[in-house]
Every structure is written in C-alpha cells, then in structure tokens.
C-alpha cells in the first residue's frame, strides 16, 4: 500500500510538471504579448514592463521563475484603503501565506 501511495504521488508531480510546462509553452506560442492590446505605450515603458515581468529573460529562466512564483508566495506591502474588509482582516490577523493562497496561487 505504501508503494502505491508513493507511486501515485510521484506521478502527480510528473503530471503537474508536464501540465505547467505545456501551458507555459502554449502561452508563449500565442502571437502578441500581454501588453499589445493596451494603448500605444512608449518604448521605455514597454521595456520597464518587460523587465518587471521578466519577459526579457530567456524562456528556460522564465519557466523557472514561473514555477518559483507559483510555489513561493510573494509578500508585498500594500497601502490600506481603509475599507471595512481591510480593518476586519487586520483585526482577524490573517497570515500573508494563507491570505495569498486563498486564490490558489500567486497573483
């Protein structure tokens, strides 16, 4: 029974890797880019956006960064809007990790 469970877990990781890799490759094969449908932006702003989202990196490095972003939650400091929900979450003390993974992954 133990061998069966270990085998299933290993296959699960393999399937997750293959699905994430195929999805990554398919998204890079689609013509255009994430900022093409926006209004015309100056070249320097486009360069800054590409650098911010690592689109100027080679594909293998982009894939590794994508996997890292999925597995490791990004904790960022945000400015509070003062809404009731913000105040409730502060009082409830929801951890960054749990709050981030409520949407099943990085944002």
Per-residue model confidence as pLDDT tens digits over 23-43: 999 998 988 877 777 788 888
Domain definitions of the chain by residue range: 1-30
What pLDDT is attached to residue 6? 95
* pTM of the entire predicted model: 0.60
55, 33 contact by CB (below 8 A): yes
Residue 53: burial class (beta carbons within 10 Å; 0-12, 13-18, 19+): middle
Tens digit of pLDDT per residue, the chain (107 long)?
899 999 999 999 999 999 999 999 999 898 887 777 778 888 898 899 889 888 899 999 999 998 888 888 776 666 656 666 666 666 655 555 566 566 555 54
Can you tell me the distance from the alpha carbon of 75 to that of 100, in angstroms, rounded to the nearest whole number? 8
Beta carbons of 72 and 96 less than 8 angstroms apart:
no
Q: What is the pLDDT of residue 84?
A: 66
Residue 21, Ramachandran bin (φ over 0: left; ψ between -120 and 50: alpha; else beta): alpha
Question: What are the start-end ranges of the H helices in the chain?
Answer: 2-29, 43-52, 59-71, 84-92, 96-101
């Amino acid at each position: 029974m133990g061998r069966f469970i270990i085998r299933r877990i290993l296959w699960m990781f393999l399937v997750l890797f293959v699905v994430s890799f195929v999805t990554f490759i398919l998204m890079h094969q689609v013509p255009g880019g994430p900022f093409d449908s926006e209004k015309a932006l100056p070249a320097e702003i486009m360069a800054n956006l590409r650098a911010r989202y690592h689109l100027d990196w080679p594909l293998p490095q982009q894939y590794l960064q994508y996997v890292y972003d999925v597995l490791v939650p990004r904790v960022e400091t945000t400015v509070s809007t003062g809404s009731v929900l913000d105040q409730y979450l502060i009082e409830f003390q929801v951890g960054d990790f749990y709050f981030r993974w409520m949407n099943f992954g990085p944002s």
